[in-house]
Chain A
Amino acid sequence: MKQIGLLNIETKIRIRDAIKADKRDLYLVVSVKLLKTEEKLITGCWVTPLAMLIVEQEMKYAFSIDGQDMPMEEILELAPSLKMVIDNADCKDKINIE
């Protein structure tokens, strides 16, 4: 009789491409869940939004998807690669590109 193994769920935190809204850049942090078999074959995946970082000229702020304010440290802890986005925004403020 064929044995049925339990499926593994692998979670990854990823950042979506920036969405432009007037002068704001919106960065959505999503969690990607992969459903894998014992043979490491992916049988399903789903994406859930977690938080959002908004870069508005000199202002940068974040909030969780349920509408709660989110400290910057918390969103950076959630998605460390956002630090690069923030550094880049700071860099853009300093250098005026035509």
Chain B
Amino acid sequence: MHFPFILWDLFLILITLSAAFIIIISILLIIPFQLSFSMSKKGPQIQGHYKIAALRVTIKKGEILSQPEDDFRAYSDKDEPAKIRDGKDCVRNAEIGYGKAGSVARGVESEQEKKEQEKKRGFIQTPDAGSLLDAAPAMLSLLGDLLRSIMFQKLSCRLCFGLDDPVETAIMNGYLWSIISVLGLYRANIYFEPCFEGYRLDGDLAARIKARLLWPVAAIFRSLRDRRIRLLLKEIVGWA
């Protein structure tokens, strides 16, 4: 006689647990989340902070800080070929090892770098260009759905950028302003300043975003019904 009672208790516990789980998931999907962040980059130093809140309760907040030494090293590595190309010191070319021995050494290094990069990449594979093109319309509609489900309460961006070539800087500036006009962000405090003095990327970015997780999740599930998106995901994960 005791056996059915235990089963009934187990059934009740399971029902209660699943109901609680559904309620928690529903609450998480329905309540509006607020993400606010600000970031500024001056030279190699990046500073900023972020805060995730829901119903005026802070869930997580932190600071974004870059390591100036690492950045400096990255800058100097990146700038090295440019310096050589500028030819401030031609003798330096021979010193650095642009001869045959140098090129062999560089080849070995590049192979090692490739292997390291592959290790770092893990299970994520580069998708085929054809399937990427096939999935592009579906991805664009997903992006549109995601953007519609996010509400920008505050957006301000001030960017000062420069490329190696003044003409390319001017062209890039034109592209950026075109994107702003296409997105209709006139009222937002967005400003791009071209810098014609060489490589440069400085600026400030601040945004406050409000979103209910329900709509992005719904958009993702809707997009997963598309065969092309599923195929692309399989290729990225390496199941195809």
Residues of B near A95 (CB, < 8 A) are: 90-91, 93-94
Chain A 32-65, CB within 8 Å of chain B: the 1/0 string?
1010000001100111000000000000000000
List chain A residues, Cβ under 8 A from B99.
Answer: 97-98
Within 8 A of B (CB), among A71-94: 84-85, 87-89, 91-92, 94
**CB <8 Å contact, B166 and A30:** yes
A76 to chain B, nearest CB (A): 16
Given contacts A47-B166, A88-B90, contact A98 B100 (CB under 8 A): yes
Q: B167, A30: Cβ atoms under 8 Å?
A: yes
Q: Please choose the segment from B45-53, B107-115, B189-197, B220-228 that sits at the chain A interface, where 4 or more of its residues have CB less than 8 A away.
A: B189-197
Q: Is the interface of A mostly helix, strand, loop or mixed?
A: mixed
A98 B98 Cβ-Cβ under 8 A: yes
Q: Is B170 an interface residue (CB 8 A)?
A: yes
- Is B86 at the interface (CB under 8 A from chain A)? yes
Q: Which residues of chain B have C-beta atoms less than 8 A from A46's C-beta?
A: 170
With A30-B167, A97-B98, A98-B100 in contact, is A14–B196 under 8 Å at CB?
yes
Complex contact B87–A91 (CB within 8 A): yes
A66 is an interface residue with CB less than 8 A from chain B: no
Chain A residues with Cβ below 8 Å from B166 are 12, 14-16, 30, 32, 47
Cβ of A22 under 8 Å from chain B:
no
Within 8 A of A (CB), among B177-201: 191, 193-194, 196
Minimum distance in angstroms from A7 CB to a CB of chain B: 15
Chain B: interface residue total (CB-CB under 8 A): 20
Judge whether B118 is part of the interface by a CB distance below 8 angstroms. no
B173 part of interface (Cβ distance < 8 Å): yes
We find that the number of chain A residues with CB closer than 8 angstroms to chain B is 25
Report whether B170 and A97 are in contact in the complex, using a CB–CB cutoff of 8 Å: no
Is the C-beta of B88 less than 8 angstroms from some C-beta in chain A? Answer: yes
A45 with B165, Cβ < 8 A, contacts A84-B88, A91-B90, A92-B87 known: no
CB distance from B126 to the nearest CB of A (A): 29
Q: How far is the CA of A89 from the CA of B93 in the complex (A)?
A: 13
Chain B, residue nearest A40 (CB): B193
CB contact under 8 A between A42 and B193, given known A91-B87, A91-B90, A92-B90: yes
Establish whether residues A16 and B86, one from each chain, have CB atoms under 8 Å apart when the complex forms: no
B87 close to A85 (CB less than 8 A) = yes
CB-based contact A45/B87 at 8 Å: no
**A47-B170 CB under 8 A given contacts A12-B196, A41-B191, A84-B86:** yes
Taken together as a complex, chains A and B put the C-alpha atoms of A97 and B93 apart, in Å, by 8
| CB of B71 closer than 8 Å to a CB of A | no
Q: Chain A: which residue is nearest B101 at the CB level?
A: A98
6 A–B contacts, CB within 8 A, in A order: A41-B193, A42-B193, A45-B173, A47-B170, A88-B87, A97-B90
